[in-house]
Amino acid sequence: MSAIKALFVTSEVAGLAKAGGLGEVSAGLPLALRRRGIDIRVLMPAYREVIAKLPDIDWFGTLPGRAGIPPARLGEARLADGTILYLVAAPSLFDRRGTPYCTPEGADWPDNHLRFARLSLAAADIAAGRGGLAWTPDIVHANDWPGGLVPAYMRWDGTDVPSILTIHNIAYQGNFDAGQRHGLGIPDAAFGMHGVEFHGRVSFLKAGGFYASHVTTVSPTHATEITTESQGAGLHGLMRTRAAAGQLSGIVNGIDESWDPGSDPHLPHHFDPVDLNGKQANADAVRTGLCLRPSVGPLFGIVSRMVHQKGLDFVAEAANDIVENGGQIAILGLGDPEIEHMLSRTSRRHRDDIGVLIGFNEPMARRIVAGSDFTLMPSRFEPCGLTQMQAQRYGALPIAHATGGLADTIDDGATGFLFSTLSSGGLVAACHRAFDVYGDEGQLADMRRAAMARCFSWSGAAAEYEALYRRLAGPRMAAIRPRPRAVEQPITACDTAFLEPAA
């Protein structure tokens, strides 16, 4: 089988610029696909912090602008793991301080529509063979709303390369005022229900969901959920249509191999399924770090973006009950200031038992997960979730709402606890099940070992994406592969004899 060439388009890559799970997927999945022989290359914006982190960028090409989208330069760099990274540089859009999406103060950049249209157009141009690259993809794999216009520009430009849009979070849609469409080079005919229009606005995610050859999301359960009115964020009709056509599926993410409790350099104490002693020592280190009182009760951990999706208000309501039953809670997160304040207030009410750290800090995240007996994830919805997989690897049994990827990756009663009633009461009831297990040393150790033994590597997801790439790109690759030329058969001795004129 010939190697498939894939262009992976993303707005974040862990280690360069990351805001959440997408960054980790963009680092882990391409590497796993490369190990399967896919010639996959990653395209992302040349944010200021990315350029600062990459010493050797080869600026090899240029791309024209379109409508209000400025021209760009294309650069190439090689990551430490060997991944080829293409960078789209447009200094007026990307050379600034802040996160991929927000100002340093946390507000969305007002020109996000132009910034991610610039990224998307670059991907479409590369797919069309422009930009000075001696390489064109057989398939383009775009992610989330920042990549939503990739399949759209490809369609409008008549570029016959299949595309995938992976929706990591359907709640973030990239919807902008209708008037912006002119500056984005969107044809008038495309501004309708069968195109980029969504409730009178331009929607990047709708565009990708409509024009991509195939749509995926990050767990099978969530692929079904987004076809429902309650979880489709207004796009359930489109998702239902795609599902009916066999063009919507769910593939569960993996987690990075560095999540290994036996070797993680960020942990004060290592442990493994055979020797779990280090876990208690890590818990004590977390207690000391967060100024919690010494305790032999269970430690409940939370590492999360602080946003409505994650259901942290249920934790604030359940906190009294957890503390009254002898539990403690360690929280690390960053996000919506209201949620940050809510949890800080909860912690002030229980200074000795609940500690909150506001910030984004990966070593700290790993220490909290390693020290926790249980991990709380009462998410209202969770397309996949990485934290519950990391938690299982570190024996911190997840207590989670049975939704999306949480339902798909937690084995209720064996590697964690799932609850179906989304309320603080539902969470408290699940915590009581956890308290019971904590009181039974044998059962606790069995569950921890079962959780730690689960395989959440990227290889499973990569095999599924490869099958999808082959299904979508295979027919076109076969059609354009140069036909073998009729080769003249060499004359063998036997033939020569045959050709000998008869005497």
Among 21, 137, 301, 398, binds ligand ADP (CB under 6 A): 21
- Cβ atoms 410, 416 nearer than 8 A: yes
Contacts with ligand GLC by CB under 6 A lie at 20-22, 25, 168-169, 218, 253, 382-386, 405
Q: What is the DSSP letter of 408?
A: H
Binder of residue 387, out of ligand GLC, ligand ADP, none (CB less than 5 to 8 A by kind): ligand ADP
Q: How far is the CB of 172 from ligand ADP (least distance, A)?
A: 10
**What are the CA-CA distances from residue 18 to residues 4, 6, 94, 149 (Å)?**
27, 22, 14, 21
Which of 216, 219, 304, 415 binds ligand ADP (CB under 6 A)? It is 304
Report the partner that residue 333 touches, choosing among ligand GLC, ligand ADP, none (CB closer than 5 to 8 A by kind).
Answer: ligand ADP
Residue 355 as a binder of ligand ADP (CB under 6 A): the answer is: no
440 binds, among ligand GLC, ligand ADP, none (CB under 5 to 8 A by kind): none
- Contacting residues for 317 by C-beta, under 8 A, at least 6 apart: 424, 427
Which token pair is 304?
Answer: 């999360």
In order, the DSSP letters of 273-293 are SS--HHHHHHHHHHHHHTTPP
Per-residue three-class SS string for 216-258:
EECCHHHHHHCCCCCCCCCCHHHHHHHHHCCCEEECCCCCCCC
In whole angstroms, how close is the CB of 337 to ligand ADP at the nearest point?
14
Q: Which amino acid is at 41?
A: R
Choice between 207 and 332, CB closer to ligand ADP: 332
- Spatial distance between the Cα atoms of 121 and 149, rounded to a whole number of angstroms: 7
Cα–Cα distance, 386 to 399 (Å, whole number): 14
Paired sense of beta strands 299-306 and 374-377, if any: parallel
| Shortest Cβ 394–ligand ADP spacing (Å) | 11
Query: Among ligand GLC, ligand ADP, none, what binds residue 347 when CB lies within 5 to 8 Å by partner kind?
Result: none
DSSP, collapsed to helix, strand or coil, labels residue 74 as strand
Q: Rounded to 5 degrees, what are φ and ψ at 18?
A: -140, 135
Residue from the set 24, 125, 197, 466 that interacts with ligand ADP by CB under 6 A: 24
CA nearest to 168, candidates 19, 270, 277, 308: 19
- Hey, CA dihedral for 54, 59, 60, 63, is it positive or negative? positive
Site string for ligand ADP, 383-412 (x = CB under 6 A): -xxxx--x----------------------
Q: From the list ligand ADP, ligand GLC, none, pick the one residue 25 interacts with, judged by a Cβ distance below 5 to 8 Å according to partner type.
A: ligand GLC
Q: Which stretch binds ligand ADP (CB under 6 A): 47-55, 111-119, 354-362, 453-461?
A: 354-362
Contact call for residues 39 and 51 (beta carbons, < 8 A): no
370 binds ligand ADP (CB under 6 A): no
Task: Please report how close the Cβ of residue 123 comes to ligand GLC at its closest, in angstroms.
Answer: 19
What is the pattern of x (binds ligand ADP, CB under 6 A) and - over residues 306-345?
--------------------------xxx-----------
* Residue corresponding to tokens 């001795």: 493
Cβ nearer to ligand GLC, comparing 22 with 239: 22
Which residue in 372, 370, 201 sits closest to 292, CA to CA?
Answer: 372
Between 22 and 354, CB nearer to ligand GLC? 22
Q: Does 361 bind ligand ADP (CB under 6 A)?
A: yes
- Among 142-150, 239-247, 298-306, 345-353, the segment contacting ligand ADP (CB under 6 A): 298-306
What, of ligand ADP, ligand GLC, none, does residue 218 touch, CB below 5 to 8 Å by kind?
ligand GLC
**In the complex, least distance from residue 253 CB atom to ligand GLC, rounded to whole angstroms:** 5
Residue ranges binding ligand ADP (CB under 6 A): 20-21, 24, 303-305, 332-334, 360-362, 365, 384-387, 390
